[in-house]
Structure 1
Amino acid sequence: MESPPESELLTMRQIRNRRLREGWSTSSQKKKRTKTTTHNGGGATDLHIDESNSGGAMADVSLSLASHVITAYAKDKNLVISPLSINVVLGMVAAGSNDPTRDQILGFLKSKSIEEINSFSSKLATHVFADGEPLGGPRLSTANGVWIDQSLRLKPAFKETVENSYKAASNHVDFQTKADEVREEVNAWAEKETNGLIKDLLQPGSVDAFTRLIFANAVYFKGAWIQEFKASSTRDHNFFLLNGSSVKAPFMKSSEEQYISEFDGFKVLRLRYKQGKDYTRTFSMYFFLPDAKDGLTDLLEKFGSESGFIENHIPDELVEVGKFRIPKFKIGFSFGVGEVIKALGVVLPFREGNLTEMVDSDIDGKELRVSGIIHKAFIEVNERGTEAAAATAIDYEGCCGPSECEKIYDFVADHPFMFVIREDTSGVVLFVGQLLDPLANS
């Protein structure tokens, strides 16, 4: 029998890569299909979120927001935020506002209509953030809450939106005489919904007798790597800081093949999380490592300005690695969202209000305005995987081997880099951050 031409022969690695790209599991002897589909195990039939809100515009909004937060608050420190959490509470503001405030928020979120935002938020809760732990995947949760002064009443249409689209529970409280007790109640809620990672979301004095409404969102993620790192292999190595000095930090190592791609001026590593029998979603963490030790500024500019940046820079093939190590790290970060989004053009909710669709009361809704937006996030990356959480609150007031001659890839994350946690089927970005110093828990 005549042998096939050499061009038709596949190496074992190429066969394995093809199977991985097509969704096959290489660890099962039966090669059971684990291809991502658009069917949710809970009975829902559409995990895909409209392109303008997921892999396209919404991801662009997330990276742009992260870039501006770094510029404003974290030029010289570690950072992690959940743009998703911020976008969800802004969606609730948009749902309760009127033109031109609504149009301004829609423009910032790059969304066509309030109906689109509400649908997006509903799918987040029921599809993207459905808990995967019972199926052997990541532990996930998201929650929304509304605290409204007892003197006010949510308008029926807005109440229906926050309860159905945002799955938010409404709580009537007494801001006028028990403001600090309400603050502690919101803080306890955020801590519970983030598995204890986000504490003291609202600082003393941030809620007072003039507060009329608080909207809050909390997200939680805990995923284990498909290929966990051996703790016994973790060693201290130099991590080079932006000021030219270095620190000794613990680095995780592996000799296993990895998803790595090289681009102009930077490399990208994709580490996948275990998904078990959750066949609808795939969660990954991406490391964007500049080639130059001081190259983070240039990378950040691309990160925040190029449309489709993540989608255009996804490693899709396993490659052999040479030197490969990633630092362990923990980051905690908090900031006031208001000044950042004002700089990005969202000013009317803070000035003119126009939040006329939220409440029925003797107070004209035009006098209700946003007084502050607080965001707090945490992430830990170690040998087993990743645990991350974030909470956002809005305060309203009245008024192959070498023998095969294939390329060996190095990926040594020993200098500042960016990272992203993403659900790959929908393109939803859960967390974004930068690591400048693995020993500094910001």
Structure 2
Amino acid sequence: MNRRELLALSGALAAATVAGCTGTEDPPSETDTTAPPSTDTPTDEPPTGEPGVDDERLAALAAGNAEFALELHNHLAANTGGNQFLSPYSISVALAMTYAGARGDTRQQMEDVLHYTLGEEIHSAFADLQAELDSRQTATDPVDDSEVDAFQLSVANTLWGADGYPFSDDYLGLLEEHYGAGLREADFAGDPDGERERINDWVADQTEDRIEDLLPAGSITPQTVLVLTNAIYFMASWLHKFDPENTEDGTFTALDGTESTVPLMHQEMDRVNYASIPGAQAVELPYIGEDVSMVLILPDEGTFEEFEQNLTAAQLFGIFEEMSDATGSLVFPRFEFETEVQLSKALSELGMPIAFGGGADFGGMVEGGQGGLFIDEVFHKSFVSVDEDGTEAAAATAVVMLESLPPSWGELRFDRPFLFCIRDRPTDAILFLGRVTDAGAAQGSE
């Protein structure tokens, strides 16, 4: 959910009435501002619900991702106060590829924070979801029934690994199978900044140049071992476009009470999904093809922050379930902006600090389960543009991983008595044990 109030209603959502609630009434007229009395038990809480998909694995993935999305959104929003736009899907995919190599407490903390309730099945679930998204590429034109491109929706994943590093074949195979993520060798030790630019170029190419410079200067060093990247690009037309001739300048009141003049789009909505719930109103704007939509939620005046911080995934799904056909007048601003965040602090504070330190266990990424890999930083950048024609959105996430350096003891001088033993390492059998108390007397014969 976006931090700012996406809807600026100088004409407000003309209190459209939910149609079909009684099963007999027609939708209210566009000028009807009186909602019919509800037969439901009054409540001060928004309704609750569950994901609407029948597939249990996809439902669990959607529910978990929504929980993570709202928790991360609210954590960041509480510390920024401005406009915010994220792709929880991009972040979850990039971290799922990282999670595939996690072990022990590192793995458990990632499961808890990211709400990966499916364990190892999370990877095949993401593959199933990607297949579902791929099927949204085409739709039937409502005018002549011809097949048309519904929108652009592309997702790409890639790994960038240090030359010669002993990555596990099983780990690489899992990511190739479920995420289509191949490994590209990178000379992080010899040319870290060149590799940074190479990764940034790949991200820009995957997002139609909407996401540039995902990795800032200095983010890749000779100690970098692995970078896991996800990029997503989306562009779609509204099923019902706004007429630019109806767009007029109007006043938008920001969260802090300041006012600004912005272009406000106007449209008389004919039978679109709408809901009036305790504390808010919601309307759904479908894109061409109708499988994908934008849901706008307008909390009651003066309650935005309280509603935002208390909104749960179950309540969000409840809003989806509550919506039904209605008509009304919509006033909605054009907008375009970017969000750029580094997520290590937020993810640590949400409950997965182990992954970001030398105590992390990502042994599943490495042959033999050895190595000291840990997450250095998670970079995320996103872009959104909404106008009369539709929406363009892009995002990318990069998980940068380092190998912790072995501890240094400086100089250790065995110039005084010491013990020593010779052991069989696989069994820890002590084969020999001794001490040296006088090295001068232990020089042997000349």
The bucket for the TM-score relative to the shorter chain is 0.7 to 0.9
1:233 is matched with: 246
CA spacing shift, 1:311–1:359, aligned 2, 3 Å: same
SS at match of 2:315: coil
Aligned residue identity for 2:306? D
1:300 Cα deviation after fit:
1.0
SS at match of 1:70: helix
Aligned residue identity for 1:173? A
Is contact 1:217-1:392 (8 Å) kept? yes
User: In the alignment, is residue 184 of structure 1 matched against residue 197 of structure 2?
Assistant: yes
Instruction: Identify the match of residue 199 of structure 1 among 212, 215, 219.
Output: 212
SS at match of 2:66: helix
Instruction: Identify the match of residue 93 of structure 1 among 92, 98, 117.
Output: 98
Q: Whole-Å Cα distance in 2 between the matches of residues 9 and 129 of structure 1?
A: 36
1:130 Cα deviation after fit:
4.6
Aligned residue identity for 1:284? S
1:291 is matched with: 300
Aligned residue identity for 1:64? E
Is contact 1:94-1:114 (8 Å) kept? no
1:128 Cα deviation after fit:
1.9
1:375 is matched with: 380
Is contact 2:159-2:229 (8 Å) kept? yes
User: Once structures 1 and 2 are overlaid, which stretch shifts more, 105-114 or 199-208?
Assistant: 105-114
User: In the alignment, is residue 166 of structure 1 matched against residue 172 of structure 2?
Assistant: no
User: In the alignment, is residue 116 of structure 1 matched against residue 121 of structure 2?
Assistant: yes
User: In the alignment, is residue 345 of structure 1 matched against residue 351 of structure 2?
Assistant: yes
Is contact 1:374-1:394 (8 Å) kept? yes
**Aligned residue runs from structure 1 range 212-251, under 5 A:** 212-251=225-264
2:223 is matched with: 210
1:12 Cα deviation after fit:
6.1
Q: Whole-Å Cα distance in 2 between the matches of residues 354 and 245 of structure 1?
A: 48
Is contact 2:67-2:115 (8 Å) kept? no
1:405 is matched with: none
Aligned residue identity for 1:103? Q
Is contact 1:47-1:127 (8 Å) kept? no
Instruction: Identify the match of residue 59 of structure 2 among 34, 44, 51.
Output: 51
CA spacing shift, 1:112–1:319, aligned 2, 3 Å: closer
1:335 Cα deviation after fit:
0.5
Q: Whole-Å Cα distance in 1 between the matches of residues 350 and 23 of structure 2?
A: 53
1:154 is matched with: 167
1:151 Cα deviation after fit:
2.5
Which runs of 5 or more residues in structure 2 are unaligned? 1-21, 29-51, 139-146, 405-446
TM-score for the superposition, normalised by structure 2:
0.74
SS at match of 2:208: coil
1:78 Cα deviation after fit:
0.8
Is contact 2:27-2:327 (8 Å) kept? no
Aligned residue identity for 1:317? S
1:66 is matched with: 73
1:259 is matched with: 273
| 1:185-227 CA distance string (max 9 Å, x none) | 1101111111111000001111011111100101111111110
CA spacing shift, 1:174–1:244, aligned 2, 3 Å: same
Number of aligned positions between the proteins: 349
1:11 Cα deviation after fit:
6.0
1:243 Cα deviation after fit:
2.3
CA spacing shift, 1:106–1:253, aligned 2, 3 Å: same
Aligned residue identity for 2:273? Y
Aligned residue identity for 2:250? H
Q: Whole-Å Cα distance in 2 between the matches of residues 129 and 337 of structure 1?
A: 28
Runs of 4+ in 1 over 6 A off after TM superposition: none
SS at match of 1:183: helix
| 1:113-142 CA distance string (max 9 Å, x none) | 432211122123222245615743221111
| 1:274-307 CA distance string (max 9 Å, x none) | 117xxxxx11101111121x3221111122xx24
Which runs of 5 or more residues in structure 1 are unaligned? 1-7, 15-36, 39-45, 277-281, 400-442
CA spacing shift, 1:206–1:47, aligned 2, 3 Å: same
Q: Whole-Å Cα distance in 2 between the matches of residues 9 and 97 of structure 1?
A: 52
**Aligned residue runs from structure 1 range 9-48, under 5 A:** 13=27
| 1:138-194 CA distance string (max 9 Å, x none) | 211111110000020321110111101111121011100111111011101111111
Aligned residue identity for 1:384? D
SS at match of 1:320: strand
Is contact 1:273-1:283 (8 Å) kept? yes
Is contact 1:152-1:360 (8 Å) kept? no
TM-score for the superposition, normalised by structure 1:
0.75
1:51 Cα deviation after fit:
2.3
Q: Whole-Å Cα distance in 1 between the matches of residues 192 and 344 of structure 2?
A: 21
SS at match of 2:70: helix
Aligned residue identity for 1:168? A
Is contact 1:131-1:139 (8 Å) kept? no
CA spacing shift, 1:182–1:47, aligned 2, 3 Å: farther
Aligned residue identity for 2:103? N
1:272 is matched with: 286
CA spacing shift, 1:385–1:129, aligned 2, 3 Å: same
1:10 Cα deviation after fit:
5.0
CA spacing shift, 1:127–1:307, aligned 2, 3 Å: closer
SS at match of 1:333: strand
